[in-house]
Structure 1
Amino acid sequence: MLTLRRLAVIPTLRCTLRCRLCCNSVPLYVDPPFLPEREVASDIHAAFSLVDRIEWIQLVGGEIFLYPKLAYLIDAIREHRAQFDRLILMTNGTLLPPPGVLDALVALGPDCEVQISDYGPLSRRVRELEMLLAAHGIPSQTKVFYGDMQHYGGWVDNTSYDDRHWSNEQIEDIFGNCWQIKMRNYHMYQGKLHACIRSLFGLDLGKIPVPPEEYVDVRDLSQSREEKRAALARLADRPLTACRYCGGFDTLRAERFPAAEQLP
């Protein structure tokens, strides 16, 4: 049985903030697009066709509430209701949901959640959003990322894509202590499904020479379903090329920094 603990689907990298330590490398993108909703929905259907179950499927950005066809994607995910435990939307608290989103979430019932990152004055719609969701019976969770009690102590600085020239032993250490790998957190953007978010964006930005065997392209018609399933099952089993370009996502040892510091 092939189960993904978490799959984060990214329909856009547009954002209302320009965070210096953004783990999705949003500041490196100039005018990122809204991916066509039918294209993203097709990727979602393809991903579900490869696995038996996804515990958490997430829609993330960028800022997910900027995406105008978000309700369409939620409805596409709902078609696979028997294959996932929970749908999670992640927002930075700067916007309210676009039209149709509340109704689409209500249709899912209690098995959805909006996770709100509260960056203090930057997240000006947090309280309003919390009340709106509560009024519709939609579960939400707010994580504080400002002041002295930041969630997980703040953010990790892993913005550099420089080759660190790690030894094999150091690469094994980075891989073995990576929280993304330990938690089996997968990400998909433009049909490419990775076990590592830096691998995904490093490839997309042309910063890391990620070989094809280190991700699954759900749009690739040259591979059979069985070949893609086999590749997906082993994505997180060994160090990745991206580990050479990584300072480490170690929740215990990595230095923490205040979240959401803005670039000019």
Structure 2
Amino acid sequence: MSQQPLVARRLAVVPTLRCTLNCKLCCNHMNRFKHPYDIPIDKLKQDIDRLFELFDYIKWIQFVGGEIFIRDDMAEVYEYTLKYKSKFDKLILMTNATIAPRPAEIEVLKKYGKNCEIMISDYGEYSYKRDEMMEICDKANIPYICKGYNGESQYFEGWIDNTKFQEFKGSEEALHKVSFSCVQAKMKNMHCFNGKLYSCPNSCFMTELGVNKPAEEDYVDLDRSDISLEQKKNTIRQFYEHPAQSCRICIWWNADHVKRYPAAQQEVRLIEEPMEK
């Protein structure tokens, strides 16, 4: 019997670990990386090829960081992704509005028409390019949305503190149960970083930090030629049928009940100069 088409609800490609802010409670843990680096353009293109080889369709293909516009070479990647335009609904770029998109990026994004959207996280005084960014988008007819994370009324009521990596104290059965209530699992929020596709951002970034050792079923190594395409697809189909190893040190499953904090609280930057791998 033939398998159903493999469709991703949302899939984020991470081209950089560098960020312009140093948020204390960053949900992607960017402030923890001492040597943040960029993924080379050719590698990003290769990953995009392999993702669209795996998936029959991707509803939202996103580029997230770090800060997306910290790089000045991403127009080439957005241009390259256009070749798969018939295989996805929307290209989404997520930004903190500290750097405005460059003319080369704008010209490429205009080619997407309404199949592109810039998602602005508005952190008040820190998002000092917000108005300029919205004006650029308005003039170029590039769709965007702005989520407010400042003042009394914050999107999602602010941020949670998922920085402690405390071990889950319940049974395996309890872990299995709560993992299904996680908002990341409900969204099927897959993340691809440097040739590896993870079931969620926490599995991705906790692994890169070295605080999580993923099980074989928690991710797909896009670069491994000894694993067949169908085996990789089967792993993806089962991503949300079991808790990932990162679920043991993550509290997103309890996000509806834990304390909320004001977003984008800054701390002293301790990272060293960025480097490429």
Task: Place the TM-score, normalised by the shorter chain, in its bin.
Answer: over 0.9
1:129 CA displacement: 0.6
Matched, 1:207 2:211: yes
Q: Which one of 147, 170, 173 corresponds to residue 166 of structure 1?
A: 170
Distance 1:181 1:214 in 2: 12
Distance 1:38 1:44 in 2: 10
Equivalent in the alignment of 2:62: 58
Shift of 1:134: 0.5
Q: What is the alpha-carbon distance in structure 2 between the residues aligned to residue 160 and residue 110 of structure 1? A: 40
- Which of 14, 20, 24 is 1:16 aligned to? 20
Q: Specify the alignment match of 1:177 in structure 2.
A: 181
5+ residue gaps, structure 2, are 269-277
Report the secondary structure of 1:80's partner residue: helix
- What is the aligned partner in structure 2 of residue 111 from structure 1? 115
1:82 deviates by: 0.8
Equivalence for 1:245: 249
Q: In 1, are the aligned partners of 2:215 and 2:244 still within 8 Å (CA)?
A: no
Give the Cα–Cα distance (whole angstroms) in 2 for the partners of residues 177 and 231 of structure 1.
21
Match for residue 153 of structure 2? 149
For these two proteins, the number of residue pairs brought into alignment is 264
Q: CA RMSD in A?
A: 1.3
Note the alpha carbon deviations across 1:98-120, whole angstroms, 9 max, x for none. Answer: 34100110011111000100000
Does residue 93 of structure 2 align to residue 72 of structure 1? no
Q: Post-superposition shift, 1:251?
A: 4.6
**The 10-residue stretch of structure 1 (183-192 or 171-180) with the greater mean CA deviation from structure 2:** 171-180
Deviates most, 114-123 or 213-222: 213-222
Query: Pick from 214, 224, 231: which aligns with 2:228?
Result: 224
> Could you tell me the TM-score, scaled by structure 1's length?
0.96
Among 189, 197, 202, which residue is 1:198 paired with?
202
**Secondary structure of the structure 2 residue equivalent to 1:188:** strand
Q: Give 1:136's aligned residue.
A: 140
Aligned-partner Cα distance in 2 for 1:16–1:32: 11
Contact 1:161–1:208 (CA<8 Å) still a contact in 2? no
Work out whether 1:123 is the aligned partner of 2:127: yes
- How far did residue 46 of structure 1 move? 0.3
Question: Does residue 30 in structure 1 map to residue 34 in structure 2?
Answer: yes
SS in 1 for 2:114: coil
Runs of 5+ consecutive residues of structure 1 not aligned to the other structure: none
Q: Is the 8 A contact 1:8 1:57 kept in 2?
A: yes
CA distance in 2, matches of 1:249, 1:10: 23
Cα displacement (A) at 1:160 = 2.0
